[in-house]
């Protein structure tokens, strides 16, 4: 791994982890595992994503995922619904010790409603931003679109396994041959020589299982099993996931994927010694019944031959 990237992680004190708005369980598991590892190193870390993922509540730290950027900044942001041309002008004035922001609608448009106005703080400093499973920054949704100035390339790490990734980071860990994002984070933590506790290992293992559909997907390879072994050795717990496709899961009975040729009628089971490819034996050829000629009545009586009989 690039020594500059290792140094960047080592020196970072505040890290923002952002995940694509189309994220799946593997992505969030990787993000939360990385957050736990950063906190274990004494760093501040925050996970943000607009994604809503089924069974994410089974991951350690899932309640810490935020859908908005709240980095402790001191810039007040006022937002409300807007359509093109609805606002005529925005001004301000100061009356005594009050700052007044004036928003005037264009003629023919309704005034702004109090309940539509939202307030939030933006800004805040981060030393490092890690983007997970986002082929481009726009894939992060409003996390990026509303805070583009925050995503400065020199402190941005792009971590992904998509073929269409646009390599937008200062460091791009785009590993297309891996079967899950959790594998990439596992290798990252190994390179940083950071220890894994059972919670970190469990999150990574859960994401790996989800991404490979319990190690049955075509993307599963030898590296997948090596990573699984490493995580289990570090205390990973096996968490059952109902989102796995049951057609390819092994349960108490030996369940296998359906073959595309399974509609053919099954052969009738027979004796173990029976060859199912043996042609049926031909029926014995029928022979015509022979008619026996009855011997003459005097056939059994002794006969005396005379010389005259020979002439």
The DSSP-derived string for 126-157 is -SEEEEES-SSGGGGTHHHHT-GGG--GGGEE
Tokens describing residue 269:
């089971």
In a domain, 89, yes or no: no
3-state helix, strand, coil in the chain (%, to 5): 30, 15, 50
Q: Report if residue 44 sits inside a domain.
A: yes
In a domain, 94, yes or no: no
302 domain-assigned: no
Whole-number Å distance between alpha carbons of 248 and 184: 25
Report the pLDDT value the prediction gives residue 85, as an integer from 0 to 100.
81
Contact 201, 236 (CB under 8 A): yes
Predicted local distance difference test score (pLDDT) of residue 280: 53
* Longest Cα–Cα distance in the chain: 172
- Which residue bears the tokens 């290792």? 6
**76 and 235 Cβ atoms separated by less than 8 Å:** no
Q: What is the rounded distance in angstroms from the CA atom of residue 99 to the CA atom of residue 93?
A: 6
Which tokens sit at 38? 């950063």
Residue 46 lies in a domain: yes
What is the residue range of 54's domain?
3-68+123-241
β 98-105/44-49 pair status: unpaired
Distance CA 13, CA 90 (A): 39
* CATH code, domain carrying 12: 3.90.1640.10
- Give phi and psi for 76, each to the nearest 5: -80, 125
How far apart CA 18 and CA 139 sit, in angstroms, is 10
Q: How far apart are CA 47 and CA 45, in angstroms?
A: 7
Torsion angles phi and psi, residue 193, rounded to 5: 60, 40
C-alpha dihedral, 76 to 81 to 82 to 87, nearest 10°: -70
Q: What was the pLDDT predicted at 28? A: 96
Residue 104 lies in a domain: no
Alpha-helix residue ranges (DSSP H) falling in the chain: 3-11, 25-40, 142-145, 181-192, 198-211, 222-233
How many domains, the chain? 1
Checking DSSP bridges between strand 14-19 and strand 44-49, what pairing results, if any? parallel
CA atoms within 13 A on the CB side of 21: 13
Q: What is the pLDDT along the chain (311 residues), one digit of tens a residue?
A: 678 899 999 999 999 999 999 999 999 999 999 999 999 999 999 999 999 888 888 999 999 899 988 766 557 778 788 888 888 889 988 888 888 888 888 888 888 888 888 776 665 678 899 999 999 999 999 999 988 888 888 889 999 998 999 999 999 999 989 999 999 999 999 999 999 999 999 999 999 999 998 899 888 999 999 999 999 999 999 988 887 765 444 433 344 445 444 455 555 444 444 443 455 555 555 555 655 666 666 666 666 655 555 55
Residue 115 to residue 217: CA distance in whole angstroms: 48
Q: Would residue 114 count as lying in a domain? A: no
What is the Cα–Cα distance from 132 to 156, expressed in whole angstroms? 11
Domain assignment present for 271: no
Q: In this predicted structure, what is the pLDDT of residue 146?
A: 86
Q: Give the contacts of 185 (CB within 8 A, at least 6 positions apart).
A: 30, 33, 34, 159, 204
């Amino acid at each position: 791994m690039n020594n500059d990237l290792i140094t960047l992680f080592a020196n970072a004190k505040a890290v923002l982890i952002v995940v694509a708005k189309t994220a799946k369980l593997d992505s969030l598991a990787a993000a939360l595992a990385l957050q736990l590892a950063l906190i274990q190193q004494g760093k501040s870390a925050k996970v943000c994503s607009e994604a809503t993922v089924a069974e994410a509540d089974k991951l350690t730290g899932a309640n810490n995922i935020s859908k908005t950027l709240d980095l402790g900044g001191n810039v007040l942001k006022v937002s409300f619904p807007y359509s093109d041309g609805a606002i005529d002008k925005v001004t301000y004035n100061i009356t005594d010790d009050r700052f007044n922001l004036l928003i005037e609608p264009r003629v023919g448009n309704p005034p702004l409603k109090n309940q539509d106005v939202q307030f939030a703080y933006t800004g805040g400093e981060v030393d490092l931003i890690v983007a997970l499973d986002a082929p481009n920054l726009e894939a992060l949704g409003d996390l990026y679109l509303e805070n583009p100035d925050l995503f400065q390339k020199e402190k941005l790490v792009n971590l992904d396994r998509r073929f269409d990734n646009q390599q937008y980071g200062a460091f791009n860990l785009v590993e297309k041959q891996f079967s899950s994002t959790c594998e990439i984070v596992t290798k990252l933590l190994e390179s940083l020589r950071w220890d894994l506790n059972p919670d970190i290992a469990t999150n990574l293992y859960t994401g790996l299982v989800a991404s490979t559909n319990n190690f049955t997907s075509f993307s599963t390879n030898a590296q997948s099993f090596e990573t699984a072994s490493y995580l289990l050795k570090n205390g990973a717990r096996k968490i059952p996931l109902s989102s796995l496709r049951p057609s390819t899961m092994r349960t108490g009975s030996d369940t296998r994927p359906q073959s595309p040729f399974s509609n053919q009628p099954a052969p009738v089971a027979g004796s173990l010694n029976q060859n199912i490819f043996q042609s049926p034996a031909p029926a014995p050829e029928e022979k015509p019944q022979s008619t026996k000629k009855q011997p003459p009545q005097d056939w059994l009586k002794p006969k005396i031959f005379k010389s005259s009989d020979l002439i």
